[in-house]
Structure 1
Amino acid sequence: MVTNRDHDDLAVSLPESLTINVDLPATVHDVPDDEVAVSIDEVAVDPGFVDAAVPTTTSVTLVTPQAEPLPEPEPAIELHGDDHGYSRRDRLRGEVSSSPEPAAMLTADRLLDERKTRRTPPEGRWPQFVYAISFHLVNLGDSRSVRERKAVEARIAKQFEGGTRFVPVLTRKGGVGKTTITTLLGMALASTREDRIIAIDANPDRGTLAERVTKQTRATVRDVVTRAASISGFTDFTTLVSRDETRLDILASDTDPMLSEAFDENDYNVVADLTARFYSIVLTDCGTGIVHSVMRATLQRADSVVIVSGGSVDEARLASETLTWLEANGYGDLVRNAVVALNTATQGTNLVKIEEIEAHFQSRVREVVRIPYDPQLAAGSVVSYKDLRPLTKNAARELAALVVEGLPARRTN
């Protein structure tokens, strides 16, 4: 038992300071690198030390950016006719302006009555019937056949820039319908396009192109050559051509057999130069004499060619030989861009495989179009385009569309 006296004796015997050494174990935990990166250095801070150069208190003023006030919207200005503006607001319909109105005031919004303006009436029996019984309130649109026809017409209506396009229609075989094809092609172009189309009968062997339309003049290519210097405008030129109901102009060939050979390369160039002044597309009904000088002048101006073939064996072979002749004489580009019109109204068509003839030409030219039999064409007289069978007109339009697609849209010379 320790008494108070013993406690006092123990306190007196202990030294005033006591140092005890304790060996601690090795570090058992390393600080991860991510903690080291954000750790604060262990620097002792003396609370009694104050650096006079460093302010003891730092004040930070936060400035909140103020959004710039939006500009006040300008008051709307009412433009009236009296102010020479383009609005009639706050004016009564039909009210007369106190000052003269500019032409710009005659806008469609002002003049057109919405109650009287409706969609274009549809074409086709059923759409027209529905349109009529609904008092023009229900418009189903055009029928499928009409839409297809308008699509082809849109292709025909392709716009050109920079000069006239020349398209010869030729073959080495006579009697295959070359003049008929020229007539159909010209009518399909003229009935759809807004520009001028002319077909020239350059057959030195007395062509019959002018007999496919109602004659309005006795003038021929010879008259054009002799009067070339006096032709100053389109009105003068129209007195020398016959115009069809489709607006196709026809320039006849010489009718005198004694003068037929006189129409040569130079004469054709005179006629071609004149027509280039007034027409966008010039079709040339060429003769069977492929080595004639007129043919050379025609091909030199050609942008594309139409080769006419019949449906018999010899007609198809001669048409193919025409392509061979063109390739051999430096007109390979024309051959590759050519369109073959396969006239199935000729004799022997029913005895041959038309699809084989088409396959042959498709391997050599750009396109092939089959022209069906039509009694109006078989008569060999005046052609009434509106009275042709629908199938014939569709073929003519397709031929025209293909020809136009092969013509350059722009030309620099």
Structure 2
Amino acid sequence: MSHSSTDPLTGPLDGPLTDHLSDPLTDPIAPPPSAPRGAPPVGPPPPPPVGGHPVGPPPPSPPPVAVPEGDAPAEPRRFMTATDFLDRRDNEATLGPATWGWRGRVRRWSGGLIKPAMGAAERSYEADRAAIQKDFDGPRTIAFVNPKGGAAKTTGVLAAGYTFGTVRGGGVIAWDNNETRGTLGIRGTRSTHRNTTRELLEDLGRFADVYQSRIGDLGAFVRSQGDAHFDVLASDERPDVTGVIHATDFADVHALLERFYRILLIDTGNNLRAENWLAAAGAADLLVVTSTIREDTGYSGLWMLDALQDAGHENLKYKTITVLSDPSPKVDEALARDLVQVYEQRTRGVHRVPYDPALVSGSVVPYAQLSAETRRSWLRACAAMATAL
């Protein structure tokens, strides 16, 4: 009986299947077809005999794989480099054992034999620290703004300076860009000198040579905050009422500070029409609207956002974060909810920080005396700022 089948390489096969199969032990190997007379040989010549025995022609090469038009051929698999290895190890790294709460106590009581994983609160804390410590591709400027006095701008700058400074390990400056006499220099740690932005402007020539000027030279003008790991540049403290900080003055000082610091925190004044206020708002990579849980300061911050919007500032919602501070141990919670709701509509995030006597006393801020709740709240707020940059 005759069968009809199909060879996947040559097409239909007719007749008995055995007619198309050869016995590898008895059938001679069919010679390759001869080329036409006078035609040049096709393919490479056969290799010379090895050991006196003739060697047949090499097997034909497999047909090339067709690549669809417009598609690039797949790249060969790449080996893992040293950098790939370190990146993979870093991505696979996990947080260490718990140190907080009952999990931390179990680890300590067991002498490290039992190592519970971190709880949700400790993981969140470590994530916020990692956000603050991230690398930037250049200096970043954060301006703290609200045209009303008593809106916690200065205390906010100092608390943020302490947070960024201690978590990042330095490279942070808080600058009082008040058009008149501000209070940042009064609330920050004192220094042996009384120089301010005014004296720095008068001596900018010493920093003209970028190859010779050093960050140490700024020590004659900025005030170190010690263990808080950030510096303060105070506003003019002279008793006379002459002299104004112009937009060009702001630009000169800002360009200088960007050479030596990674994060610039600017404490602004209360006059939205002042040249240096407008210059700070324009140069800022991020605006932080500060307000206490009071109707007047909350309204003032919203009015300022309206004014900036009307002045042509774009993407304010994504360029702005709100920090609401409790001015006393007990506040109007209904008002607090209203402020949170309205500022959530106008800015990319709202962060509330608790009342802390160390921040509202009006004297030099004792950073070591900030409560654990205050530190945690500012860590969360500064992590949001770093993420927004």
Q: What TM-score results when the alignment is normalised by the length of structure 2?
A: 0.71
Partner of 2:214: 233
Kindly indicate whether the alpha-carbon contact (under 8 Å) linking 2:190 and 2:223 is maintained by their aligned counterparts in 1.
Answer: yes
Give the counterpart letter for 2:154 in structure 1.
T
SS of corresponding position for 1:250: strand
> Is residue 273 of structure 1 aligned with residue 248 of structure 2?
no
The match for 2:153 among 157, 164, 178 is 178
Partner of 1:376: 358
Partner of 1:218: 194
Pairs within 5 Å for 1:260-409: 261-345=243-327, 349-350=331-332, 352-407=334-389
When the two chains are superposed, the root-mean-square deviation of aligned CA atoms in Å is 2.9
Query: Max radius of gyration: which structure?
Result: 1
Residue 353 (structure 1) shift: 2.2
Residue 62 (structure 1) shift: 7.0
Give the counterpart letter for 1:60 in structure 2.
D
Residue 59 (structure 1) shift: 5.3
- Mapped partners of 1:171, 1:260: distance in 2: 25
SS of corresponding position for 1:207: coil
Larger mean Cα displacement after TM superposition, 213-222 or 342-351: 342-351
Residues 261 and 354 of structure 1: CA distance in aligned 2, closer, same or farther (over 3 Å): farther
Give the counterpart letter for 1:330 in structure 2.
G
SS of corresponding position for 2:355: coil
SS of corresponding position for 2:377: helix
> Is residue 208 of structure 1 aligned with residue 183 of structure 2?
yes
Residues 290 and 371 of structure 1: CA distance in aligned 2, closer, same or farther (over 3 Å): same
Residue 344 (structure 1) shift: 2.0
Residue 144 (structure 1) shift: 4.0
Residues 241 and 328 of structure 1: CA distance in aligned 2, closer, same or farther (over 3 Å): same
Q: Which runs of 5+ in 1 are unaligned?
A: 1-30, 41-57, 64-118, 408-413
Kindly indicate whether the alpha-carbon contact (under 8 Å) linking 2:180 and 2:244 is maintained by their aligned counterparts in 1.
Answer: no
Q: Which runs of 5+ in 2 are unaligned?
A: 6-12, 17-24, 31-94, 208-212
- Mapped partners of 1:34, 1:262: distance in 2: 101
Kindly indicate whether the alpha-carbon contact (under 8 Å) linking 2:96 and 2:118 is maintained by their aligned counterparts in 1.
Answer: no
Residue 146 (structure 1) shift: 2.6
- Mapped partners of 1:149, 1:311: distance in 2: 25
Give the counterpart letter for 1:363 in structure 2.
Q
> Is residue 135 of structure 1 aligned with residue 77 of structure 2?
no
Q: What TM-score results when the alignment is normalised by the length of structure 1?
A: 0.67
Larger mean Cα displacement after TM superposition, 140-149 or 172-181: 140-149
SS of corresponding position for 1:300: helix
Residue 219 (structure 1) shift: 1.3
SS of corresponding position for 2:179: coil
- Mapped partners of 2:147, 2:108: distance in 1: 54
Partner of 2:99: 123
Q: How many equivalent residue pairs?
A: 304
SS of corresponding position for 1:363: helix
Larger mean Cα displacement after TM superposition, 370-379 or 344-353: 344-353
SS of corresponding position for 1:284: strand
Residues 143 and 33 of structure 1: CA distance in aligned 2, closer, same or farther (over 3 Å): closer
Kindly indicate whether the alpha-carbon contact (under 8 Å) linking 1:264 and 1:293 is maintained by their aligned counterparts in 2.
Answer: yes
- Mapped partners of 2:347, 2:238: distance in 1: 36
Deviations 1:133-172 (A, max 9, x none): 33333333445433221111111112101x3111111111
Give the counterpart letter for 1:159 in structure 2.
D
Residue 247 (structure 1) shift: 0.5
Residues 144 and 351 of structure 1: CA distance in aligned 2, closer, same or farther (over 3 Å): closer
Percent identical across equivalent pairs? 27
Residue 389 (structure 1) shift: 1.5
